[in-house]
Amino acid sequence: MPDAAPRPGRTGLAHQPAKPLRSALPRGPGRPSAAAAPEQQRSLILDAAAAQFARHGFAGASLRDIAEAVGLSHAMIRHLFGAKEALWDAAAEHLFARMRTAMATALDGIDPDDPVQRMAAQVRASVRTAARVPSLAGFVMQAGLAGGPRYAALVERHLRPLHAFALEPYRQLAAAGQAVAIPEHFIFMVATNAAINPFAQAANSRALAGIELTDPTVADAYADALIAILQHGVLRPQPAAEVAP
């Protein structure tokens, strides 16, 4: 699927084009065949790497474990990606490319000049992406816990552009006097963090409520609830129109 062309008002992510998503190979998860296309093989490796980094952090993840997860040799992983640092960078780009693709697809079906529609579409795209790629939240959390130059690079390359992009509809509403005065980073935390982070703790939902957050129907219901909460808290009540005598 080709990348969606950026529209006006989407400049926050436009400089980082997303790669098209690839279909999983029909061999079961994480096991590319010898004849697997290079891009398919690369995608499966990066999925496995992202899962390992999300589970164990950079320091705890092992190239050998990642290689074993996809049925390849440790030497092949090093041949394709080099050192673990390069694989981590590639996994970060892989995860955020999926988010950018989901955002572009979601915004294609709405009026980009309607900030209420856009805010809802962005929240739904974030929830659906996190449901399909639960390692995204864990990857970012682990990087933040570790801190240091690697996290600083993640912020500048991926998180800061996403932050600016996610806040565009709120800033548009605020400029038009249609939003209540809330620190805008709090809006980001509700619109994006609350959309993504629970999927890193999906076990809690299974244990406490008996629900599977990654189920598409459940994920959409969660997105509906989050959108309703966000709109109720952000949109300024509009005065009722006067009725002419």
Higher pLDDT, 88 or 36: 88
Weakest mean pLDDT among 33-37, 63-67, 157-161, 222-226? 33-37
- Alpha-carbon Rg for the chain, nearest whole angstrom, is 20
Give the N- to C-terminal CA distance of the chain in Å, as an integer. 56
What is the tens place of the pLDDT at every residue in 125-170?
A: 999 999 999 899 999 999 999 999 999 999 999 999 999 999 999 9
Place of tokens 């809690």: 204
* pLDDT recorded at residue 39: 83
Q: Which pLDDT score is estimated for 148?
A: 96
Structure tokens at 19: 């790669």
Q: What is the pLDDT of residue 15?
A: 39
Contact at 8 Å (CB) between 155 and 96?
no
Of the candidates 192, 117, 132, which has an alpha carbon nearest to the alpha carbon of residue 160? 192
Instruction: Let me know: does 127 contact 85? Beta carbons within 8 Å.
Output: no
Tokens 């980082």, located at residue: 16
Confidence class for position 38, pLDDT limits 50, 70, 90: confident
**In the prediction, which pLDDT does 125 show?**
95
Residue 236: predicted pLDDT: 81
The CATH-assigned architecture of domain 91-234 is Orthogonal Bundle (1.10)
Per-residue pLDDT at 26 exceeds 50? no
Q: Which residue has the higher pLDDT, 185 or 24?
A: 185
Give the model's pLDDT for residue 112: 83
DSSP line for the chain: -PPPPPPTT-HHHHTSPPPPP-PPPTTSTT---TT--HHHHHHHHHHHHHHHHHHHHHHH--HHHHHHHHT--HHHHHHHH-SHHHHHHHHHHHHHHHHHHHHHHHHHTS-TT-HHHHHHHHHHHHHHHHHH-THHHHHHHHHHHH-HHHHHHHIIIIIHHHHHHHHHHHHHHHHTT-B----HHHHHIIIIIHHHGGGGGHHHHHHHH---TTSHHHHHHHHHHHHHHHHHHHBPPPPPPPPP-
Phi, psi of 179 (to 5 degrees): -120, 145
Reply yes or no on whether the pLDDT at 70 is more than 50: yes
Round to whole Å and give the CA distance between 81 and 217: 36
Kindly report the average pLDDT of the chain as a whole number.
Answer: 84
Least confident of 15-24, 27-36, 169-178: 15-24
Task: Give the confidence band of 96 by pLDDT, cuts at 50, 70, 90.
Answer: very high
Tens digit of each residue's pLDDT (9 = 90 or more) over 194-228:
999 999 989 999 999 999 999 999 999 999 999 99
- Asked whether residue 23 carries a pLDDT value surpassing 70, the answer given is no
